Amino acid sequence: MIRRDGDGKAHASWWWSAAVASLLLYPYLGVAMIGDPDGERMVLAGHAIMLLSDLLLLGAGITMAIDARLRYDALRGAMAVAAAIVALQDAPLELLGMIDRALSPLSFRLTNGHLITVLIVLVVIHRGRRAVTPGRHPILAGVLLGLTAATITLGLYRLVKEHLHETGVLGTNDPVDLGIIGLTGLVMVVIGMQLARSSLQAWAAARIGAGMLAIFAARVYSTAIDAMTPTPVAVVGVAVFSALIATTAASLLGVALEDMDARVARYAHLAAEAEAEVKQDREVAHEVRSAAAGLAAGARLLASGQIPPGPRRDALEKMVDIEAARLRRTVAAKAGPLTTVDVDAVVAPFVVAQAALGHHVTWTPGGHRVRARQDALAEALGTLVTNAADHAGGQGTTITSRRVGEHVEILVSDDGPGLDPSLRERLFSWGSHGRSSSGQGIGLHRARRILLEQGGTLDLADAPEGSGTTFVIRLPRVPLADEDERLG
């Protein structure tokens, strides 16, 4: 149906049009197979083919109307109207020609009514090029205009037959008729130029132009030989015209659907990016609030004078300085490089901060080093320790570290009531939190994400219900100096 060139531009296949035209001409094959002693079957087959072609053309109009709605394109809507006009102008004449042989020439020769029809089509296409939005009911408009054109054609046929010449259709012996034929051809050329200069793809305009040339040449031929029954040339011309218009309409709709899919995918991507940015901003805001709360508590204690000079005050001041620096880097969105991080140096400020807030944290230095981003590890630990203080009531919070193969595991445990079993499956999901929690469900999600980004993990350890909660941070281990010497 649709092929693409090296630039990815879509084109309708000419072979597809030829195949559709061949299917329309099948009645001729049927007559050839069963025989036609008196020629009547060929005449009926010709009318049947042209009637099928008109129905196909009406289907093409419906397809173009759908395309116009998808693209919100006034020109496509005008083309839908034009296709319906031509189909509904010819179809009644085909039926009349099958009923009354004297009316048969109206369906395949040029008539005065065809000039009226092409003028109507020209006006429709011209208005479509200038309009901003497509009409609401293009097919209905095309049907009404097509039936009007058919009625005018029949009226002119009767007038010509009664007052000018007996056939009632155009001929090549009358200069006036030749002028009408020439004017009809000229209007069709103008229609083709209108389409060529429009926003319509060049390949589509070329195919429609080829279809108009085929049907005009076929009708001129039938008029020139003064045919009174549909000639194979005329029938083939009508079939080729309808096949080209129908396949072009289907191809245009196919391209429109592909473009719509691409737009949907692009909008989905943009929406995902926007959602990620919003989540990132909320995560940073969450971390800033948490860190700021700890800094404010530490600063108040230092300013209150409740902690006298000494090791404890020095540790608290160091914690405030470290967290303030980390907070500045978090706000500036500076992730920092992967480096060798001393786990004990990261844990110590949190133990001091929690002690200052009245939350005792048990911690035994393990002397481990890991490959990580120090700020990210500090943020993840801060989230876990803060959660233990908030949700476990500060009961038995413990931080331990241990070597497991080529990794170091940092365990943050508490003796609280434990987690709701229904929460375990979605614990690290965005926005997930327990019914009694006042949190936003952001901290654990962010903690796991920033650890995964540096090659680590964050998991919830299995524990019996009601026996507290243990989170496990796992990061790549960096050997100690004395180990390096032994290995060397």
Q: Read off the pLDDT of residues 418-442 as tens digits, 9 standing for 90 and up.
A: 777 667 777 777 666 555 555 556 7
Nearest to 235 by CA among 28, 443, 417, 11: 28
- Maximum average pLDDT range among 2-6, 286-290, 302-306, 386-390: 386-390
Q: Six-digit token pair at 465?
A: 């219900």
CA angle 57, 249, 70 (to 5 degrees): 120
Q: What is the pLDDT of residue 428?
A: 78
Report how far Cα 182 is from the mean position of its chain's Cα atoms: 47
Higher pLDDT, 401 or 468: 401
- Maximum average pLDDT range among 14-18, 192-196, 412-416: 192-196
pLDDT at 464 over 90: no
Tell me the average pLDDT across 305-333.
68
Longest pairwise C-alpha distance within the chain: 124
Q: What is the pLDDT of residue 479?
A: 84
Q: What is the pLDDT of residue 39?
A: 80
Tell me the average pLDDT across 331-341.
72
pLDDT at 128 over 70: yes
pTM of the model: 0.64
CB 202 within 8 A of CB 248: no
Question: How far is the C-alpha of 128 from the C-alpha of 71, rounded, in Å?
Answer: 14
pLDDT at 406 over 70: yes
Q: What is the pLDDT of residue 65?
A: 94
Q: What is the pLDDT of residue 485?
A: 43
Q: What is the pLDDT of residue 213?
A: 93
